Chain A
Amino acid sequence: MTMMILTGNESAAWGARLSRPKVIAAYPITPQTSIIETIAEFIANGEMDARYIRVESEHSAMAACIAAQNTGVRTFTATSSHGLTLMHELLIWASGARLPIVMSVVNRAMAPPWSVWTDQLDSMAQRDTGWIQIYTENNQEVLDSIIMSYKIGEKHHILLPTMVMEDAFILSHTSEAVNVPEQKLVDDFLGEYEPAFKLEPGNAEGYGSLIMPEGPYMEFRYKMARAMDDAREEIRKTVEEFAEVFGREYAPLVEEYKLEDADAVMVVLGTIGSTAKDVVDHLREKGKKVGLARVRYFRPFPYEEIRKIARNTEMLGVVDRSYTFGYGANLYAESKAALYGHSSIPVKNYVMGLGGRDITPEILIKVFDDMLKIAREGVVDREIEWVGLHGDERWS
């Protein structure tokens, strides 16, 4: 184990390097670029043994990863924002082809207007692509999650791809002390890649061929659905095994922070978690009973964990750093759906931080106060609230 000072992007590159993918196919985009630059340096210096395809688009990056992984090797790529949405068609292809590709995603706002700062609409818009989705809070979690994603996805009863999210700049370009594990430990933890199937001469299989309505199309999709469900248990097992080998513990799907006797619990994704933990400590000192649930895995969705949390509190405030135009943002809508018939506590959606707008402790203190008021009164004033809009006195 070596302690290094790494940015989130360098941590992602190290996570990839230690997992020994044989093919990398990648295309630059701000703020992801330093991941693929760091990997290029590893390969150029002979520190990493992988074929590096410098494709002409993200669409081709995913297509090349699909084809390479289907030929029987571990692959890796990284992208962000418009690059991720350009891949959309092939994200669905990758999961449908049951290829456990691992991809780093740096969450960045979608244009227009142009913005390179953090916002989670890019990956939220990939919610239904059949990829496992994990949102990370710090650079150590970025590195460790990439290694664990190979382990989970490659299990033959899972065979699903994973995207590992990090918030733009807040993680991607911020340096932290990161434990970089020994290669030997990672090799033992992951083992050699054993594909469930592969393209090879002498075995005239066709992958992805035409299927009629009476054929097993629906059964293939059902198996994917079951695999995504089974991934919950595999994640639980893997974080335990990881802790034994590497000595770092992760909550499986949802990290719970000071939930005991909490009157109101904030539910978040990504780096908002760090700020919110500080705010929880601060408010607890003042005698306010608040807690935090940081959802790590958004796919598969941790509906059981959300129900359990709701059983022991009076109110959930769900923070989303993206919006799905129609009715509420994803983390809110899915949390609420998970609770239907299981809990009648108030749930409110706080939409904030879009386009990289800073989410400060001051803002979160106000949100917690609003949540505690709802917990006391048992009434939600408005279901969905945009926090911190210009000219809105309430939050300024």
Chain B
Amino acid sequence: MRKLTIPEEEYMRSGHTACLGCGATIAMRYVLKALGKNTILSIPACCWAVIPGVYPRHNLEVPLLYTAFEVTGAAVSGIREALNALGKEDVNVVGFAGDGGTADIGIQALSGAVERGHDIFYIMYDNEAYMNTGIQRSGSTPIGAWTTTTPGGKKRMYKWEPKKSVAEIMVAHHIPYVATATIAYPEDLIAKIKRAKEIKGPKFIQILSPCPTGWRHSPDKTVEISRLAVQTNAFPLYEVVKGTYRITVKPKKPKPIKEYLRLQGRFRHLTEEEIEMIQRIVDENWRELLKKERCSQEVKE
């Protein structure tokens, strides 16, 4: 008999309003499965401010506080301290925010919250652009991508700056738990949330969440693209526990980045030279991560 590795309980009902093939919706479903019902969510302006549905209904089995765009870090701080004042230390307090609300407009409140050490989860569902407003470039948009504010045109004005690494910014805050995850690896994702649950203090998890609408891919490719992001090392899966790195999914022989890029319309314009340039960046980042893993583990031992 097969053993279930993903909890059966559902905390997300049907009837959400997300686009077909939305990775962020799958991410929420897994996160709640790992956390359970004793959870309060805080959601800023982002796709997930719309996905639960229109007042007075929403499709989650947990209470949620919608907030302004840039305040998730402050909001979870407030919920946590109020719960502690009421003697409810056992409730999971979770910020669930997009990449714009995390890497850009919300980074100040996030930095403040994790520096202060509140016992909170911060989930950044990373769909690599401002998707709810219609695909505008964020600091988390990968190099080479088309967005509506990097539309190419005659001057080839695409996003030519590399993706900002919020996970590494969180590591620099010396918080007890930082991890990356993606929806094609649900066991890995759920295990990380469960591990985080055992740790007191700020926990940050960045979940790569493909967006068919913004990445310009067929909705049935969401999981495949999420998997390719890991297999090509475009988005490595790792965790950092008290400064010690561990890569949780290590591709034996990484696939060329081209295989990841070619399934997505947002990279269609890239020349061979540009793809080579992106390959070099991916390889460099991977080597850097391997070094961090080796060094931090050696020093630990």
Contacts and interface: CB of A to CB of B under 8 A. Distances in A.
A203 B79 contact: no
A210 B79 CA distance: 21
B82 A68 contact: yes
Contacts of B71: 59-60, 63, 90
A71 to B, nearest CB: 4
A39 to B, nearest CB: 14
Interface in B104-118: 108-109, 111-112, 115-116
A111 interface: no
A212 B116 contact: no
B16 to A, nearest CB: 12
Contacts of B66: 206-209
B85 A51 contact: yes
A76 B217 CA distance: 49
Interface string B52-65: 11111010111111
A207 B62 CA distance: 12
Contacts of A51: 81-82, 84-85
A216 B68 CA distance: 20
Given A63-B67, A201-B38, A201-B91, A68 B79 contact: yes
B79 A199 contact: yes
A212 B54 contact: yes
Interface residues of B, number: 44
Contacts of A67: 42, 65, 67, 74-79, 82
Interface string A196-215: 00011111111111111001
Interface string A206-240: 11111110011000000000000000000000000
Contact of B77 (A55, A69, A93): A55
A23 B82 CA distance: 6
A387 interface: no
B117 to A, nearest CB: 11
Contacts of A69: 78, 82
A88 to B, nearest CB: 11
A44 interface: no
A57 interface: yes
A269 to B, nearest CB: 30
B133 to A, nearest CB: 14
A199 B55 contact: no
Interface of B: 37-40, 42, 49-50, 52-56, 58, 60-68, 70-71, 73-79, 81-86, 91, 108-109, 111-112, 115-116
25 contacts: A23-B78, A23-B81, A51-B84, A57-B108, A59-B71, A59-B74, A59-B109, A60-B73, A60-B108, A60-B112, A63-B68, A63-B71, A63-B74, A63-B75, A66-B67, A67-B67, A68-B81, A73-B82, A201-B40, A206-B55, A206-B65, A207-B64, A209-B52, A209-B54, A210-B54
